[in-house]
Structure 1
């Protein structure tokens, strides 16, 4: 029940507040040490970076989900959208997948990633864990932690803390050496993540104090905090952000932009998250981090049980690096917030502007600061509203779009000579270009360009649209239809003020690029990538969607002039829709099941062990044991399990089943047999909000005592549940008499506590058992969170903790002969509560034990050259896991980024490698049928594809398909700066 980030709860999650994980009101941040304060500091009104008020516009990305060769592309796209910060997780099992082996090289080179962030002029927020969530396998914990007796996560536990410390000894020096006071980009550090008990500066137990002590010991000097700050899809909600008791700025470390259940953009995403962003800006927020701006891919075996290869997230920058509409709305908010960070990072709410507009449909908030004021006019409705703004003796008209929060600027100092007295037109961005201050404003055809300036000395202009009256300068013009931005210019002393008036089409295509410490404005391109200066020539790369059919003019604005850039437009290119995969080769991967197979170096144990016990991190494993059958007949094998299973008897496929069901029926002949079981899973739970032992949590494969008995099946599910609310002390009096007036029907998995602390009785009846039954086991997979078990009114067992399986046995033969009243008293202390998973009964009683197991994890080596034969096409499954291999040819085209995806049509469950790179698991669990092949992993020419299908289904229908909408054309353009 505490698995509150499950896919089926997406709609609910996107509407709930940041109190979801118990962070309460503590959104405080520990201050920087004295040595770091000159570089990163804060007060109650905002952040200061290098002594300057700085609005932090942060993008959540995971270097673990991006090939290193594509880091720069993704980071540059983020920077071009106005972001000044990158937030990352440093996922533990990504860096220590096997115990004691640490990897910070290649795609795992955290130091190189942070240096790249620094080289691009951005900051970084590093979330060091040790828990991460992130829809990542096991929440980021290394699987080997499951096999440490007595280990409990996220609570005071010396053993867990020992392994955390060892990891931090390798991780934290990389982070500390990249702190801003040491020349790096790191300005904030988060310890832990979404802990149910400790957020901000709260440290409820010694576990938190241990993490703090370790971080400080290793050298964390920048500000830090626990768990996160204001996680929500709408972090502001309806609340006010100003809080005189808070000693630090308001910041959201997880502003959920779209969701991990989505692929690609859907209509309305841009408007929805645009409004939620502007709410932060308008109500006193001092920064935000979108989670995610680029989601990326779950390469290898890193996905959890809610996703597969894609972690696209519906984000601004797609899985393949393409730009969605929300990218441009993110850019608009980012450039505005950073343009006016001197106001937004040092302001208070101001009610003196409340009568600026008489239309009460529009809501007004305002921020007042020593640097100037910003008045925000909020149209929460679904229709555009035209209104008059009353300023002095004038009435000025403006139109506020549906859902828009429209900013008006008042008394903002542009330079030592000129103040922007009023901007009644939307300001897109302000940038300094030497002695020129450029203001980019946004107005559609027919709307007013309405700007008023106050100068310290007389102004001059050659533009008749710029009106000068003493020390007042104004521009009041109706926006025309445009083929390029409209330019207005005036000078005061040696300072120039330039206004570039654009419509939304043009501002979306406007980028402010810093090259050699000078700002260059480029407008007209869908995206501007690399920009360099060589021999006084500005060289830039313009990127357009592959499917664009016409060129667009790109204008460059430098300090003193505007230039139409030369374009090297390429004719439209049609990427082939697909590439056929032929000449398939096959390799049987079921040899591990053969009777005569020699299981050398396999893990040996009396009872089968969960997957990962042998150190393997893949989602596949083989088990072997011998069974001696006394007489021919139908038998039931019982063993705990998680995932999917395939049984083989003497090397031949016998049955498939869901391992979670706990039992399997087999037809067996008298004699000795080799029993082999292939187990696979689709990712482990991310353990959101989980505290406690992990040895039995979400185990995969088969494990525990294995029994086999003639007859069956013996396990059945209990239904017909009822519940009634209770008080905490009621448990001591025993369960109340059951009746259907007091007790109401209950469905397993339902929260009866409304996400609050509470207590309740749950009741059902166990049917009378067949004659001769002398033992019955009650199988509880998860109750949320503490449960006391009563049999016929008598207390027999107490269990604490959710998401932990336990059993209760009934061995009184007299009791088993009659229907049994089963009653649970459940205590819930946080979030949802009740009976998480179905409760089952097991009547197998005494049975033959299957012992002496062998286990080996992994699918085998996909690169191994021997054993391949030509595939003979068949419509039937080949019966167990098989490798398949094919090749395909890709022709790279100069100036084009072509995106290719693998479509596993017709296949079952499995893994795919391209040229030796593991590109992830299928099938996808989100609305995309194919998965992304990073272009950096493709050869120009021949490429090799290897598929491991766990179900043995043939790949004859699968193919390489084009994602044309994600492809790009890169065009070099240049301008003479003389």
Structure 2
């Protein structure tokens, strides 16, 4: 079914294929080599990085979707959210668009990207493919792979493995030179991606063994795995993450944070994914990777058929770098997990030990225990706020009257017996801990609470404690802070005490302030800044703490902030001068030139690809979404004619240089009125992205081809293709039922069936599908049955007799009926479907082609691409009278931008009034329009703009008018950037 891809990645992967592919998956990880183990290792309870228990809080993004000038900015935003790792794909057709021409420079400079990751102190998980999915054109396969004889993807197929090896010869050294044991950022490698048959450490065939051997021979030393681990929008599921049989930590490589069909924040997203993250933390998970934390853009022709230019994903860091509400939930979970990673990476389930700790029985309790301490999680699964008292043995007097307030769906952490340092232990913390930060001899604990919530922390110390604060109660070796949060918190409340030579500082604030709290590591020291919307770069020079801060353009409030060093808090403020942004830039003085010169009768085609039959787009090595086809038609007499040829995408037919008809190429036929004689047929073809081929194995030569391809025929009359309707189905009990032939058609046995529906309930099974082919007109001696896709294997019967068998899903095939006697009567068509995994049935409509004998159209010519959009010649002032209707056209003009003055304005090109096409700004291709998400306009990366004149070029494939377009501001994403210095003395 067409939805198989999204069902596969949004339903079945939730269980990691544990149902349909239990024999082909586990969640195990191959260990590091001996030389890498001191740097990256694991046991059944957690990861160890450089010998230290480390919780992996990872953020998914793709360098391929970000201009290289913005890599540092986006990675810094990830670091500021508390993440310690990033996860990326190394998309094949991004680095080898054209066969044998490898590109690892500029936006494709993977080595530079990984070096920036290392520079920022982050780790990297690298997913090297060779398949990626990722809502990327062709799933990441280079288009030229479609034209390799005998090639079958993701199988033990020598031609495929040959080209994979050549790509890996260029790719893997870039990755492996940057493994952590070699001083780089890379701590984990994933081979393959979401393969139907092998996940974790499962290697079902020679293909997997080949990938493993290739990577190991080329120097892979860090831990690795196949396909992925625990992909889902709620990876923790029912919370049972502990597994004594698993030799490695629990980790999710794709925790789907929102979805690729969404732009921007939607109400409830932050709360939903916050809860799903805390489920991982509370139930023994050792890490996760949000897919995506920053989505980015599909520049050029990289989108698949589900997307256009935007890949915003509705996630924490927007397409334009703006911060969404979910960003702050990411940040809260990441800092907590990393603060208590010595517990979370070495723990066992201790839920039974704390059963009954919450007086309210509606609260669910889970807990983790380790040598470093205990974490208890109170879970309010309901939709209303809950207040509960606690039953803590031995501390009844202390906690008497204290209530914990849990927000709807909140998972609230308590801390018990946690060792802060050699001199102090956190006996109990009833307040939410945001982060624990080591600052020289000071340990700062940042907690958050709302008005009326308890501020309660009790410490045990091995040495005598002291404090100048009356709010800190000291009794022998016990330290207690026991207050209620005040109603209004404009600045944090501080509590400090000393235990031996060490200082413990508690900084309490509400959630609004923790959202504005940032932890930086600068010159080897940790600093905490609270009160600012965002903190970018931070450095120290001449006893001055220098920072870059960012404020939404629409905000005009003064920001009161505090910088916490290891010894003091330094108050400072940042002015709140609102920046007025121009909302739109009008575009005028357009020039145009035709992009339909290839439709003319006298085109020089010496450089075109020539073939007997039309070849799919890309056969001439072009990687764009546009192509031209040409052929000559010999018409014997005036009349209506039907041209039949397989196709994919959109088309515009021209006869003798003039527009003749728009054409849905997937219909496979076009009817034209033609006069006697020779005619030049030109066809402009375009598409909106190729399928990502999720879970597809086998040949890709005919899968989702675009343009025109196969045999071409023309015949007077038509149209000749019709869709077969009125389908029925009946379940079969076993595969061998096919040997008995189909049961007689009886509606008491067969039930109505709608094409595309799953009749197997996502399970293995067998079924009969029946339709009646209408009686054909007199003289019809042949028809074709056109099957575009069945799921998975099909045996075809005509009037109860087997005539064909086809193996494989998403592969078109044809069945010919050539008995004229049979066609004089209605025909019983029955199809036996074998379904071996997931959903199954007949994916796409089955069509009848009654063209019969027809004249072949041969000697085709192909030229891919829109032409040179950036060429300086051939432009004239736009004039609708000069423009050919229903034909592609280029437009260009310039617009002016004022100096930014420290502001980052986010601009989008709004293609209102246009059809389908591409846009270039100063020579950079923004991607495809129209957008498919709930937003308007193609994002223009700020690094591609400049003060003064900027050029915009538009290629509209439909030839629509340009005058309604404009450059529009996305005000919500704009920000004011300023640098400040704070004296440290």
TM-score between the two structures when normalised by the length of structure 2 = 0.98
Pairing partner for 1:966 from 973, 978, 982:
973
The alignment partner of 1:879 has SS state of coil
What is aligned with 1:544?
A: 551
- The answer on 1:554 being equivalent to 2:561 is yes
Contact 1:607/1:852 (<8 A) preserved: yes
Structure 1 residues 685 and 185 mapped into 2: Cα distance closer, same or farther (>3 Å)?
same
What is aligned with 1:235?
A: 235
Contact 1:873/1:956 (<8 A) preserved: no
Pairing partner for 2:647 from 641, 652, 659:
641
CA shift for structure 1 position 536: 1.2
What is aligned with 1:861?
A: 868
Could you tell me how far apart the structure 2 residues matched to 1:382 and 1:160 are?
52
Pairing partner for 2:522 from 497, 515, 519:
515
Count of equivalent residues: 976
Q: How does 1:538-937 map to 2 (within 5 A)?
A: 538-567=545-574, 569=575, 571-726=577-732, 727-873=734-880, 878-937=885-944
Contact 2:755/2:845 (<8 A) preserved: yes
What is aligned with 1:122?
A: 122
What is aligned with 1:434?
A: 440
CA shift for structure 1 position 9: 9.4
Could you tell me how far apart the structure 2 residues matched to 1:581 and 1:875 are?
20
CA shift for structure 1 position 633: 0.4
Contact 1:723/1:743 (<8 A) preserved: yes
Q: Deviations over 1:499-541 (max 9, x none)?
A: 0000001101001100011000000011100101111100001
The alignment partner of 2:353 has SS state of coil
- The answer on 1:167 being equivalent to 2:167 is yes
Could you tell me how far apart the structure 2 residues matched to 1:695 and 1:775 are?
27
Could you tell me how far apart the structure 2 residues matched to 1:5 and 1:929 are?
26
Contact 2:594/2:884 (<8 A) preserved: no
Q: Deviations over 1:226-253 (max 9, x none)?
A: 0000000000111400000000000000
Contact 2:16/2:25 (<8 A) preserved: no
Contact 1:60/1:290 (<8 A) preserved: yes
Contact 1:316/1:326 (<8 A) preserved: yes
CA shift for structure 1 position 893: 2.1
What is aligned with 1:360?
A: 361
Q: Which moved more, 1:870-879 or 1:414-423?
A: 870-879
Contact 2:594/2:883 (<8 A) preserved: no
- The answer on 1:957 being equivalent to 2:958 is no
The alignment partner of 2:390 has SS state of strand
Contact 2:555/2:576 (<8 A) preserved: no
Q: How does 1:81-480 map to 2 (within 5 A)?
A: 81-350=81-350, 351-391=352-392, 392=394, 393-394=396-397, 395=400, 396-480=402-486
Could you tell me how far apart the structure 2 residues matched to 1:2 and 1:450 are?
55
Could you tell me how far apart the structure 1 residues matched to 2:10 and 2:133 are?
19
Could you tell me how far apart the structure 2 residues matched to 1:202 and 1:691 are?
17
Contact 2:278/2:333 (<8 A) preserved: yes
**Structure 2 residues not aligned, in runs of 5+:** none
The alignment partner of 1:266 has SS state of coil
CA shift for structure 1 position 478: 1.2
Contact 2:797/2:831 (<8 A) preserved: yes
Structure 1 residues 925 and 16 mapped into 2: Cα distance closer, same or farther (>3 Å)?
farther
Contact 1:758/1:828 (<8 A) preserved: yes
CA shift for structure 1 position 5: 3.6
Structure 1 residues 446 and 963 mapped into 2: Cα distance closer, same or farther (>3 Å)?
same
Structure 1 residues 756 and 874 mapped into 2: Cα distance closer, same or farther (>3 Å)?
farther
The alignment partner of 2:331 has SS state of helix
The alignment partner of 2:559 has SS state of coil
Could you tell me how far apart the structure 2 residues matched to 1:748 and 1:892 are?
57
Could you tell me how far apart the structure 2 residues matched to 1:202 and 1:56 are?
23
CA shift for structure 1 position 117: 0.1
CA shift for structure 1 position 879: 2.2
Contact 1:632/1:669 (<8 A) preserved: yes
Could you tell me how far apart the structure 1 residues matched to 2:358 and 2:77 are?
39
CA shift for structure 1 position 892: 2.8
The alignment partner of 1:553 has SS state of strand
Contact 1:2/1:688 (<8 A) preserved: no
Contact 2:343/2:370 (<8 A) preserved: yes
| RMSD value, Cα | 1.4
CA shift for structure 1 position 4: 2.9
CA shift for structure 1 position 570: 5.3
The alignment partner of 1:699 has SS state of coil
Pairing partner for 2:949 from 930, 938, 942:
942
Q: Deviations over 1:871-917 (max 9, x none)?
A: 12479972210001111111132121000000000000001000000
Could you tell me how far apart the structure 2 residues matched to 1:878 and 1:944 are?
25
Q: Deviations over 1:481-510 (max 9, x none)?
A: 222100000001110000000000110100
The alignment partner of 1:705 has SS state of strand
Could you tell me how far apart the structure 2 residues matched to 1:768 and 1:571 are?
78
- The answer on 1:494 being equivalent to 2:501 is yes
Could you tell me how far apart the structure 2 residues matched to 1:694 and 1:848 are?
29
Could you tell me how far apart the structure 2 residues matched to 1:156 and 1:14 are?
23
Could you tell me how far apart the structure 2 residues matched to 1:666 and 1:963 are?
46
CA shift for structure 1 position 10: 9.4
Structure 1 residues 20 and 433 mapped into 2: Cα distance closer, same or farther (>3 Å)?
farther
The alignment partner of 1:582 has SS state of coil
CA shift for structure 1 position 3: 4.8
Contact 1:47/1:54 (<8 A) preserved: yes
CA shift for structure 1 position 389: 1.1
Could you tell me how far apart the structure 2 residues matched to 1:702 and 1:86 are?
41
Could you tell me how far apart the structure 1 residues matched to 2:25 and 2:827 are?
47
Contact 2:920/2:926 (<8 A) preserved: yes
The alignment partner of 1:76 has SS state of helix
Could you tell me how far apart the structure 2 residues matched to 1:674 and 1:63 are?
45
Could you tell me how far apart the structure 2 residues matched to 1:962 and 1:910 are?
21
Q: Which moved more, 1:146-155 or 1:571-580?
A: 571-580
Contact 1:546/1:964 (<8 A) preserved: yes
The alignment partner of 1:505 has SS state of helix
CA shift for structure 1 position 598: 1.2
The alignment partner of 1:216 has SS state of helix
